[in-house]
Amino acid sequence: MSATETIREPSVDVIDLRIALTISGVDVVDEIGVQIRPGEVLGLVGESGSGKTTVGMALLGHVRHGGHVAGGVIRIDGRDLSTLGERELRHLRGGVVSYIPQDPGTSLNPALRISTQLVEILEAHATDGGAKQRMARVREALEEVALPSDDEFLKNYPHQLSGGQQQRVAIAMAFANRPHVIVCDEPTTGLDVTTQARVLETVRDLCQSHHVAALYVSHDLAVVAELADHVAVMYGGRIVESGTRDQLFANPCHPYTRRLLRAVPDIAGKRTVVGIPGHAALPGSRPQGCYFHPRCQFARDDCRAEFPPITDLGEGHRVRCYHVADAVRQAPPEGAGQADRRAVGEDVVLGIRDLNAHYGETQILFDVNIDVHHNECVALVGESGSGKTTTARCVAGLHKQWTGEVSLRGEGLARGARQRSGEERREIQYVFQNPYASLNPRSTIGQTIARRLKLFPPDGGGDIGAKVGECLERVALSASAADRFPDQLSGGERQRVAIARALAAEPALLVCDEVTSALDVSVQAAIIELLGELRNEMGLSLLFITHDHALIRTVADRIAVVTAGHVVEYGPTEQIFTSPSADYTRKLLANTPSIEVALGQATAPSS
């Protein structure tokens, strides 16, 4: 950023913004103050329920149903949004302020051609000039996002484009009217890393070349580290720390920021992840005083009394904490049971030989060969649709249309779970991706686990009720959770229950299918820690499926990289990170966002 730009008036100026629920008066966000200057990207980071999307929407003059702006000022280009009527707001949206949605698949109208939708945006804001000029502008907008601009392409319907192309069209629409401010709501969440890298680059270039002030709302710290100039961290509806990117990532001061950064796996650094204990402070259930104090190791009486004021640490680095000095002095905690590599056994627990799988006529997997040894964690990585989940389903007997051999301790397994013996089923347990769907909403946690214990009776028998308690305590839940229904638990707790259910059978192999992808980073870290501990305790083997490449370095002993149904690379984790042999792996590793690489603290894993 050049010196002249810093003097410019901020395009976005939010002062002391408070948005509250209309009925209960509970605040969703409060005391929000952010400024974004032209050409600048502000990363707004937070976990689910932190209010980050609410703030992003507020810049568009929009508060979702059930809430209202209860205080503060939002100025866009010097104009106070609260003074604008509905018509002026409509004119503002898509014109002065525009929005890039999370999922372009649902935000583009599937029934209209790309060209129609782009022209509509221009017409809505009645830029002067006729149809010809508009078409020219449409082509220009598409070229800016590196899409073809020929008639052929313009005739396409959204479904004819790939996810990445759809997102580019959405970006082109957002930039079409040359906005001054742009709000991005996790626009790369649904994309694979390669596409994500390109989309991020496009957004950054466009913001810089057109002096657009961007608010980038995200839960992904690595993406923000690569993209943003300034970063604000939200917790419980307030900004707890803000500063430049380097200040915040290299010298985090708020205990929450520090713990959050410890929870993020990084592809560039081989280190453990550490979860944050406790529950996020959600609207209506926020504690007195500092919202983070129940989860904070530095909390003292003053933290319990009142929310800390803003402390300026100099050069715009602001933090809301009474005990910054303590927090900075303390070394960050170490994660349990991940870094120390256990002795991986010699014997093969799971053997996959020449696995070919089909869905109907379509072949999904081609000659997959993978071994999982005793006490080993093999990660299956690949982008969505690569066939990694299909592999897991073949192993578990959920998908039956396959040929080849899947063997447990050398014994070949039948295709379907029901054709296998009870003992074989006991040995392979499956943990599903989405804990919101994998537990029966009409059964208590206790009933769910007790049933599993009846199906696979543990050695020595004993009282089922007591056993259920043991199973729950093993995953760090209290035994009293047995009486609860799934909807009374948080996502992380549900995933713990799902793991407890799998472990009740005392399996030899745990198949983990994207088990953390539906969870927040701090919760993800806690689940990863738990799996690490359980492996040490129980001598489990893991088949760990993930699309989060940053995570694999933390968890896996061995990695299989899958693309389009082929295993293109298979070997020990370190070897794959230090000397990947396949081009695909290199591309994957290089495109994965990394905080450390972004800050220049580490070199890219492959170059």
Partner 1 sequence: MTQPQTVEQALDLVPEAGPEAPPPRLQRFQWLGILREASRLTRTRIGLAMVGVIVLIALFGPLVAPHTPTEFIAAPNHGPTSDAILGADALGRDVFSRFLHGGLTVLWMAAAATVLGVVVGTAVGLIAAYSRNWLDGVLMRLNDVLLAFPQIIFVLLAVSAIGPKLWLIVVTVGITHAPRVARVIRGAAQQIVERDFIKAEEVAGERRSRIIMQGLLPNVTSPLLVELGLRMTFSIGLVAAISFLGFGLQPPTADWGLMINENRLSITVMPWGVLLPVLAIAVLTVGTNLVTDGIARAAIGLERSNE
Residues lying near partner 1 in the complex (CB under 8 A): 21, 28, 48-51, 53-54, 64-67, 186, 189, 219-220, 279, 282-285, 396-398, 417-418, 420, 422, 425, 428-430, 432-434, 436-444, 451-452, 455-456, 478, 481, 484-485, 487-491, 493, 498, 501, 505, 517-520
Query: Closest approach of Cβ 289 to partner 1, in Å?
Result: 17
Query: Closest approach of Cβ 218 to partner 1, in Å?
Result: 8
Beta-bridge partner residues of 405: 353
How far is Cα 262 from Cα 273, in angstroms, rounded to an integer? 6
Residue 378, both tokens = 């093999």
Which segments of 356-406 does DSSP mark as H helices, in order? Answer: 388-396
Query: Closest approach of Cβ 547 to partner 1, in Å?
Result: 12
How far is Cα 381 from Cα 384, in angstroms, rounded to an integer? 9
Q: Cβ closer to partner 1: 15 or 417?
A: 417
Query: Closest approach of Cβ 235 to partner 1, in Å?
Result: 13
Beta-bridge partner residues of 14: 34, 74
Q: Cβ closer to partner 1: 138 or 505?
A: 505
Measured between alpha carbons, how far is residue 454 from residues 188, 417, 483 in Å?
44, 18, 18
Query: Closest approach of Cβ 125 to partner 1, in Å?
Result: 28
Q: Work out the number of other CB atoms within 10 angstroms of the CB of residue 418.
A: 9
Q: Cβ closer to partner 1: 134 or 452?
A: 452
Q: Cβ closer to partner 1: 67 or 255?
A: 67
Q: Cβ closer to partner 1: 197 or 498?
A: 498
**DSSP 8-state symbol, 412:** E
Beta-bridge partner residues of 571: 559
Bridge-based pairing of strands 362-373 and 348-359 is antiparallel
Q: What is the DSSP string of 257-270?
A: HHHHHHHS--SSS-
Residue that is written with structure tokens 């929000």 in the block: 32
Residue 472, both tokens = 């729950």
Q: Cβ closer to partner 1: 514 or 569?
A: 514
SS3 175: helix
Query: Closest approach of Cβ 63 to partner 1, in Å?
Result: 10
Query: Closest approach of Cβ 249 to partner 1, in Å?
Result: 20
Query: Closest approach of Cβ 453 to partner 1, in Å?
Result: 11
Q: Cβ closer to partner 1: 14 or 396?
A: 396
Query: Closest approach of Cβ 443 to partner 1, in Å?
Result: 7
Q: Cβ closer to partner 1: 244 or 517?
A: 517
Phi and psi dihedrals of 474, rounded to 5? -60, -30
Q: Cβ closer to partner 1: 189 or 606?
A: 189
- Do residues 534 and 450 make contact, with C-beta atoms less than 8 angstroms apart? no
Amino acid at 362: T
How far is Cα 527 from Cα 525, in angstroms, rounded to an integer? 5
Q: Cβ closer to partner 1: 160 or 440?
A: 440
Q: What is the DSSP string of 112-130?
A: S-HHHHHHHHHHHTT-SS-
Residue 287, both tokens = 């504690």
Sheet with strand 79-80: strands edge to edge: 27-36, 12-21, 67-76, 79-80
**DSSP 8-state symbol, 93:** B
Query: Closest approach of Cβ 268 to partner 1, in Å?
Result: 21
Beta-bridge partner residues of 185: 217
How far is Cα 274 from Cα 46, in angstroms, rounded to an integer? 17
Q: Cβ closer to partner 1: 162 or 440?
A: 440
Query: Closest approach of Cβ 53 to partner 1, in Å?
Result: 6
Nearest to 181 by CA among 49, 58, 32: 58
